[in-house]
Each structure stands twice: as structure tokens, then as C-alpha cells.
A and B are shown apart, each in its own frame.
Chain A
Amino acid sequence: MRRRALGLRMASVAVVAFLYFPILLVATYAFTDQAGSFRFPPSGFTLRWFGTAARNPAIWEAMRLSLVVAAGATTIALVLGSLLAAAVYRTRFFGRETVSFLVVLPIALPGIVTGIALRSTLALGEIPFSTWTIIVGHATFCIVVVYNNVLARYRRLQASLTEASMDLGASGWQTFRHVTLPHLGTALLAGGLLSFALSFDEIIVTTFVAGQQTTLPIWIFSSLVRPRARPVTNVVALVVILVTAVPILLAQRLAGGRAAGGVAARGG
């Protein structure tokens, strides 16, 4: 089978180039002098848009809100996701499949469905929009990320280890604290990082549960219709890419290869 497969290799290189070329473009335009134009080729290297962006209080406020929401949603997802994973891994019970299905549902359904469903509940319950409504919305689809990572790691935990711990006289809590938790550690961290990245740049669900509040992605989205804001938009876009890329790369290393979020862990 290991022929040289030149055609396939070239196709692969082309697809990877296709995936990254647009992202490189955004990065390039953040450093150019052409205010508000999509003109190619770009010209005039400058760093001044970074200064302009840094002096804009609206961007800092949006950034703050996005960080708060991502941290809150990730915390909730870590607790709920790992508890569910533990329950599903340890015990066979009636409705086990249903739990897995329920966890995946928020990302298996299109983003607008999750968004408008929560929006509709807020309307029916006459609940006002707040930072909490965004956190709740994000946590709902972040649970699956933690769940998948932790469950994958649980499956690699040998039952003999926990049994040995119990045989040696450790209590359930001690076994969890000294055997299970160290084993799960990096999976929890990877799941947390991924869910942070997912929440930080989420826009579809956010649009429905944020009301008048502006997260960073919403700021970008609303600035797209203002051509004068475009150079600053490019800078913010670059920042968002960097802020999300770092946790993703870290999570990949921590989870060891393919464990962290195959496609199933990521929806719209």
C-alpha cells in the first residue's frame, strides 16, 4: 500500500493550504496601512492599529465579558461534565445511552436551535438578560467537551488500580483523591481548555442569550458593517485567533494525540 501516492499527497497539501491561507490573510492585513479596504495586494506595514485598538474601551469591555463568560461556563462544564462521565463509566444503568445522547444534543442540533430555545425560555419565564444567561447558554454546549475528554481517559484507567487502592485500605474518597484524580488530571485540563476556547469565540448561541451585552465575537460581528472600523476589526480578529489557538494546542498536548475532541466534541 505504501506507494508514493503523489497525487494524494499534493491534494493533502492543497487542502491544508486552503484551510490556513485565509487565516494568514487576516494576520497580514492587521499590519497594513490601508484603512478599511480589502484591496490586494496589501501595502504599507504599520503597527498603529494595535494602538488604536488598545485605546478603545469598548474592546476591553467586550474582552472582559468574554473572559468572564468563558471562565464561568468552563467551571460549570468541568463539574457537570466530569460527574456525568464518571457515572456513565462506572455503572451500567438503565438509560445510560440516553445520557450520552442528551450530552451531545446541544451540539448535534444546529446552534440556532439551542440559542432560540434558551431565548424562548427566557421570554416565557420573563427572565432578564444578564452575564448569567450567557454563562448558562455556553455551559450547556461546553459540558460535552469535558464529558468526552474525561470519559476517554476513564476508559484508559485500569480497574485494577482502584481495586488495589481499596484493597490496601483506602476509602472511596482517598482512592479518588490519590488514584483517580491524578489519572484524570490532564484530561480535565484539556477539556477545560477546549471548552474555554469554544466559549470564548462562540457567537450563535450568544446572540440569542446576550441581549444588549457585547462579547468579543459580537463586537467583531457588529463592527463588520462599519467599514471605518475595519483595520481595528482585523487586529481584534487576530487577537481572538491567538487567544483560542493557544488553549487548543495545549489541550492537544495534554490529552495526547487524538483523545482531545475528535469531531464529536465540537459543533456549531
Chain B
Amino acid sequence: MTGPTRFLPEPRVSVPIERGADRRISAIFYRRPWLKLLLMLAPGLLWLGVLYLGSLLSLIVQGLYRLEEFTGLVVRQVSLATYQELLQPANLDIIFRTTGMAAAVTLACAVIAFPIAYYMAKFASSRTKTVLYLAVLMPLWMSYLVRVYSWKFILAKEGVLPWFVERLGLAPALDFLLGLPGVGGNSLSTSLIGMWLVFVYTWLPFMILPLAAALERVPDSFVEASGDLGARPPQTFRKVILPLALPGLVAGSIFTFSLTLGDFIIPTIIGNSAFFLGSQVLVQQGTAGNLPLAAAFSAVPMVVMVLYLSGAKRLGAFEAL
């Protein structure tokens, strides 16, 4: 192996034309292609189909059990009692808060991602494009826990952001923001606003990349034609670019939405103690010992994502991934 560019192996005169067992096995597989296919598929399908799908199924079954309040033991008796518990006001509150956050995060990611994605797709030289692509891709794979933790240094009361805000004389504005009921808090790192910022930061690369890929497929001539026909730039954006980039936006939003729905790291490290779906699942299966309720809660993001994905499929988002 000399490198990625090498395509053909060097001719090896030493490779013998075998007539033994090897050839017989080849012949068996050649005559029975389904056998070869079966052998190749079996390990992976057993793993994902039995172990993983089986686990998902066991999750749904687990939600049909319930916790006996007095003994604290799980009663293995099928009923809808645990799923009904989700409809209690406190639990509905968690579901709506999480979904609302996911929507707000997705919206912000889309707005922030658009300019850079558009630049990558349409204006950057191929060198710049490669650099930008790598620059966006790296954080996507880098330790997400550390990236979340790093925001403590920014949002804490004595951290970077308040320091700059004070130097710029904007302290009253920040205080006003933190004073807002519901989303405010003691400091940015203990407020929903701070949490939203960190969610946006963490999932932003997941929006930029599919969006850039979709924008790259928008033909330049369409944009030019729109201009030639007298459309002003905002009109071209609304009537030509946005509809064509929609699959990319939807593809990106699948990630930002799904990842926000299922996260418990950010609500634990940043934010007030208000519960989110992920943290609720964690607490219920851990300290509370209520595995059935945890399972029922995790059915919520599953249902939301299935609805979301079937909608996205209709918009052709899967080609943009």
C-alpha cells in the first residue's frame, strides 16, 4: 500500500493459479450467489436486526410494565399505565419544553449555517472549500462532551462573555435578558438562553454540511436567470435558492432536532435544573429506578423522529445527506 491514489496493485507474477480447495470454494459460491450473500449479510443483520431491533422492541415492552410504588419493584404485567403517566402535566411540560428547544435550536442553526454554507458552495475557491469543509467537519467528530464543557468558561458569571459584555457597557442588556421569566436565570450558564446557545454551537456543523451539499447542486444559471428576469436578490433567495436548498435544510434539521431531543449532557452541564427528555430518562432509569417510565419517555423522541423523518422523506431530504 503506497497511498490513496494507488489504484491497481502491482502485477504479481508469483500469484499461482490455484486448483485446490480455494478454487472449489470459489466455484461453490459462484454457483450459489445467494449463499455468499447470506454469509456476508448474516453477521451484520444478526447484530443489528436481532440485537439492536430486539433492544428497541424490549424498550417498548419495558414501557408497558410499571413500577409498583410501595415496593419500588417493576411489575412485569402489560398495561398502558406507564405510557399514560406521560400525560401528567409535569411530564407534558418536559415534552413540550424539549420539543420547543429542539425547534428553537434548529431554527437558529439554519439561520447561522446559511451564509457559510452558501459561501462554501458558490464562492470559495476549491482550496478554501477544502479548508472550510475540514474546519466544519472536525468539531463534528471531536469530543462533544469537551466542547460542551468549554462553554462553562464562556458563560459562567466570571467567564469570558460577561467580561466582554461589561467592557462594552452592555451589562444592563444582559441583566435584562437574564431577568426574563422562564428563559433567564442567575447567570448565562444556568439559564435556558445559555443552554440554547450551547445546543446551537454543538450541533451547528450538522446543519452546515448537508446545507452546503444541497446548495452546491443549485445551478448557477438558475440564480443568474432569476436576476436577468428582474428579481431582486431577496426575491431570488426566496423563490429560487431557498426551495432548492430545502432538502439540505431538512436533512440538517433531522440531526439538530434529533440530537437536541435526546441529549442529557447539555441540560446537566449548562442550564437550570428544569428537566429535559434526556435528563428525565437518565434520572428515571438511574436514581429513581423506574425503568418502565424511562422507557416510556424515550418512546417520545422515537415517535417525534418517525413523524419528522416521514415528512422529511417526502421533501427528498435523504438525497442530501
Contacts and interface: CB of A to CB of B under 8 A. Distances in A.
Interface of A: 1-3, 5, 7-9, 11-12, 15-16, 18-20, 22-23, 25-26, 29, 37-41, 76, 79-81, 83-84, 86-87, 90-91, 93, 99, 102-103, 105-106, 108-114, 116-121, 123-124, 136, 139-140, 143, 161, 169-174, 178-179, 182-183, 185-186, 194, 197-198, 201, 203-204, 207-208, 217, 220-221, 224, 233, 237, 240-241, 244-245, 248-249, 252-258, 261-264, 266-268
Give the secondary structure class of B's interface.
helix
B16 to A, nearest CB: 9
A217 B145 contact: yes
A268 B259 contact: yes
Contact of B15 (A5, A108, A174, A204): A174
Give the secondary structure class of A's interface.
helix
Contacts of B158: 37-40
A91 B156 CA distance: 56
A210 B133 CA distance: 35
List 6 tightest A-B contacts by C-beta distance, closest first.
A110-B262, A22-B150, A11-B115, A38-B156, A201-B143, A117-B55
27 contacts: A1-B122, A12-B119, A15-B204, A16-B135, A19-B135, A19-B201, A19-B205, A23-B147, A25-B153, A83-B41, A84-B40, A108-B258, A109-B302, A116-B285, A117-B59, A120-B291, A171-B26, A172-B25, A178-B9, A194-B141, A257-B133, A258-B133, A261-B137, A263-B209, A266-B206, A267-B255, A268-B259
Size bracket, chain B contacts: 35 or more
A249 B138 CA distance: 8
A120 B62 contact: yes
B315 interface: no
B227 to A, nearest CB: 10
Contacts of B224: 1
A99 B62 contact: no
B168 interface: no
Interface string B32-58: 010001001101110111011111101
B250 interface: no
A79 B47 CA distance: 12
Contacts of B118: 8
Contact of A171 (B23, B47, B265, B277): B23
B30 A140 contact: no
Given A121-B55, A124-B62, A203-B265, A112 B4 contact: no
Which of A105, A120, A183, A267 has the most CB atoms of chain B within a 10 A radius of its CB? A120
Contact of B44 (A83, A237, A244): A83
Interface in B1-42: 1, 3-4, 6-9, 12, 15, 17-18, 22-23, 25-26, 29-30, 33, 37, 40-41
A225 to B, nearest CB: 9
Contacts of A268: 144, 258-259, 262-263
